[in-house]
């Protein structure tokens, strides 16, 4: 890896385009380096993982709304006078196609709605699986006429993950209350450049445009969190598709987008005197960033994964000692800065203790999550968030006994570059009404690569089958999994097999969405 220094440059400075971070990202995307076999296997895992969580969300209102919007934008049929060059992209859950940027939108919302796919955490936060919907949509739309195969899609996804992981390692956005999707727009544009075999110049313009149009505040993840949390990364994907389309037509981007006097770093991040270090693969170096990412076993914000597993373990300890949950006086979770300030009591969000809060808000309350996991011994993507579950009097009582504090050691481990000590967990200190204290801690979730039960291919498949049960027919489940595992062998025109279609009677259970403008 090459460590690139990134800093603000005055307009009058001699700053060659080849030194721009956007150009360096584009050069990585344009490098035709082969994909390692373990990276290819993980790409397949994450395609299955995305399909699993998208399947579980198809009947939810935000996803139904995005799907309705997308289906208003069909691609003209081949041979018609105004037919587009391309066959259209599949929309998750239905046997229909639409324009690729709208498929990226609909499928991006489906993937993100339940907050249940992969994660990478460093200087910034991210869900790198958000790269996949836009790349799959474009690959399906242009695959046949450009000769794009499953191998091309694998290469594009590997680039998207690499660029996002590297930006997340080097540049903190949340420090300045900028939403993490500001790293996603550029990573998707870079991945699309790899997928479509674009020259560095075009990828550079697409990366700059994508960053410029996807930089927004973190208010979407603060206070009373709405359905926009799921729409934000889908919007980044849609913008990246449109930016790449414009770049292919010869249109340019603001430049230098990161380093300019009036650019992102100068006015949205650390300011004119700031210096960042962003690692990127050297020419000819394999893109292996996806292997640093990890998926979720539980449908909750990633910092909640280890606390859920910890709560389940503590539940067993309390049961073995015949301790009733009503005997708990207080629970303090000693944890990292991020967990304390984003999903803990350090956020100062009263909504995180509100039994009438939205699902999105409860998903960002580690106090609620720890209480329910301690009571139930499990975490379910629907039952655990149900209004009647959140409103149980005994749950509310336990919930309000839980608080978080930042522990410098947990913060240090959170930011550690050593995979063996990097941690996303907490130490729970439980004080009972009789004065006894019970303590336990867990550094990483069970499903983490260093956890008790790391996720492997069969776990991804089981996750898909579990979430698809009762929604997708067994034969359709088998068909999709076979196609996903055969991804490197898929020929041009066959990438539409990576869709999952619901039976019409199941899809009819989705909420009716009122018409908007389209």
Task: Tell me the two tokens of residue 126.
Answer: 């991210």
Range 333-342 burial, b when 16+ CB lie within 10 A, else e:
bbbbbbbbbb
Average pLDDT of the chain? 95
Q: d(Cα 162, Cα 44) in Å, to the nearest integer?
A: 16
b (16+ CB within 10 A) / e for 59-84: bbebbbbbbbbbbebebeeeeeeeeb
Nearest residue to 367 via CA among 352, 349, 354: 352
Q: What pLDDT, on the 0 to 100 scale, is given for residue 278?
A: 98
Can you give the pLDDT at residue 168?
96
End-to-end C-alpha distance for the chain, whole angstroms? 46
Q: What is the pLDDT of residue 85?
A: 67
Q: What is the dihedral of CA 455, 402, 314, 114, to 10 degrees?
A: -20
Return the exposure string of 223-232: e unless at least 16 CB atoms fall within 10 Å of the residue's CB, then b. eebebbbbbb
pLDDT of res. 51: 98
DSSP string spanning 223-275?
SS--THHHHHHHHHHHHHHHHHHHHHTT----SSTTTSTTSHHHHHSS-TT-E
Return the closest-CA partner of residue 471 out of 382, 361, 392, 371: 382
Percent of the chain with pLDDT over 70: 98
Query: Which positions ≥6 away from 363 have C-beta within 8 Å?
Result: 115, 225, 299, 300, 301, 304, 369, 385
Question: Among the residues of 391-447, which ranges form H helices?
Answer: 393-399, 408-415
pLDDT tens for 455-513 read: 999 999 999 999 999 999 999 999 999 999 999 999 999 999 999 999 999 999 999 99
Rounded average pLDDT over 287-293: 96
DSSP type of residue 471: T
- DSSP calls for 195-219: HTT--HHHHHHHHHHHHHHS--BGG
- Strand, coil or helix: what is 404? strand
> Of the ranges 47-51, 449-453, 499-503, which one carries the lowest mean pLDDT score?
449-453
Q: Please give the average per-residue pLDDT across 421-435, as a whole number.
A: 95
Query: In degrees, to the nearest 5, what angle opens at C-alpha 378 toward C-alphas 125 and 62?
Result: 55
Per residue in 357-411, pLDDT tens?
998 899 999 999 999 999 999 999 889 999 999 999 999 999 999 999 999 999 9
* Cα separation values, 137 from 191, 318, 387, 499, Å: 12, 49, 35, 10
CA gap 55, 507 in Å, rounded: 11
* CB-CB neighbours of 486 under 10 Å: 13
Instruction: Provide the pLDDT for residue 229.
Output: 86
In angstroms, the Cα distances linking 432 to 318, 331, 438 are 11, 9, 8
Q: What is the pLDDT of residues 6-47, one digit of tens each?
A: 999 999 999 999 999 999 999 999 999 999 999 999 999 999
Residue 79: the pLDDT is: 53
3-state secondary structure of 159: helix
Q: What is the pLDDT of residues 201-228, one digit of tens each?
A: 999 999 999 999 999 998 887 777 788 8
Give me the sign of the Cα torsion angle 408, 414, 416, 421: positive
Rounded to an integer, the average pLDDT of 406-428 is 91
Residue range 168-196: mean pLDDT, rounded: 96
What's the pLDDT score for residue 420?
83
The DSSP string of 88-110 is: -EE-TBSS-EE-HHHHHHHHHHH
Q: What is the pLDDT of residue 442?
A: 97
Q: Does pLDDT of 515 surpass 90?
A: yes
The three-class DSSP label of residue 143 is: helix
Separation between Cα atoms, residue 311 and residue 111, nearest integer Å: 27
Q: How far apart are CA 421 and CA 445, in angstroms?
A: 13
The distance of Cα 460 from the centroid of its chain, to the nearest Å, equals: 16
What's the alpha-carbon Rg for the chain, to the nearest Å? 23
Which pLDDT score is estimated for 76?
79
């Amino acid at each position: 890896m090459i460590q690139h220094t990134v800093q603000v440059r005055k307009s009058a400075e001699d700053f060659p385009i080849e030194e721009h971070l956007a150009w360096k990202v584009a050069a990585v995307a344009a490098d035709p380096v082969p994909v390692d076999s373990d990276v290819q296997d993980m790409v397949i895992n994450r395609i299955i993982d995305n399909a699993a969580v998208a399947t579980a969300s198809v009947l939810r209102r935000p996803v139904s709304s995005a799907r309705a919007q997308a289906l208003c934008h069909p691609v003209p049929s081949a041979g018609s006078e105004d037919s587009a060059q391309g066959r259209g992209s599949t929309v998750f859950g239905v046997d229909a196609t639409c324009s690729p940027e709208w498929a990226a939108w609909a499928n991006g919302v489906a993937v993100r709605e339940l907050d249940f796919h992969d994660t990478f955490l460093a200087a910034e936060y991210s869900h790198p699986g958000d790269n996949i919907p836009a790349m799959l949509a474009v690959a399906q739309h242009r695959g046949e006429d450009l000769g794009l195969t499953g191998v091309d899609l694998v290469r594009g996804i590997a680039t998207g993950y690499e660029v996002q992981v590297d930006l997340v390692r080097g540049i903190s956005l949340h420090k300045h209350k900028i939403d993490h999707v500001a790293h996603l727009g550029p990573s998707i544009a870079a991945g699309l450049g790899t997928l479509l075999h674009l020259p560095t110049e075009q990828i550079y313009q697409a990366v700059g445009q994508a960053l410029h149009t996807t930089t927004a505040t973190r208010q979407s993840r603060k206070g009373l969190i709405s359905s926009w949390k799921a729409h934000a990364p889908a919007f980044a994907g849609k913008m990246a598709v449109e930016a790449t389309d414009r770049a292919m037509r010869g249109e340019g981007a603001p430049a230098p987008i990161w380093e300019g006097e009036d650019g992102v770093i100068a006015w949205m991040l650390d300011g004119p005197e700031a210096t960042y270090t962003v690692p990127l693969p050297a020419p000819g170096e394999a893109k292996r960033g996806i292997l640093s990412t990890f998926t979720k076993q539980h449908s909750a914000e990633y910092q909640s994964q280890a606390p859920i597993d910890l709560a389940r373990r503590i539940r067993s300890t309390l049961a073995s000692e015949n301790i009733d949950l009503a005997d708990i006086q207080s629970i303090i979770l000693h944890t990292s800065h991020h967990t304390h300030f984003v999903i803990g009591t350090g956020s100062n969000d009263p909504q995180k203790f509100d039994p009438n809060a939205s699902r999105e808000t409860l998903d960002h309350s580690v106090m609620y999550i720890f209480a329910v996991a301690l009571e139930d011994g499990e975490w379910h993507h629907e039952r655990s968030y149900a209004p009647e579950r959140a409103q149980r009097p005994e749950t509310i009582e336990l919930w309000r006994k839980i608080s978080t504090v930042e522990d410098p050691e947990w913060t240090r481990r959170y930011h550690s570059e050593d995979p063996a000590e990097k941690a996303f967990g907490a130490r729970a200190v439980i004080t009972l009404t009789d004065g006894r204290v019970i303590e336990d801690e867990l550094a990483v979730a069970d499903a983490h690569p260093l956890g008790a039960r790391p996720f492997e291919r069969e776990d991804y498949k089981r996750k898909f089958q579990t979430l698809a049960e009762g929604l997708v027919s067994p034969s359709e489940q088998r068909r999709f999994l076979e196609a996903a595992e055969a991804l490197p062998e898929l020929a041009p025109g066959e990438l539409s097999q990576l869709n999952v279609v619901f039976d019409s009677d199941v899809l009819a259970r989705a909420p009716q969405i009122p018409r908007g403008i389209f």
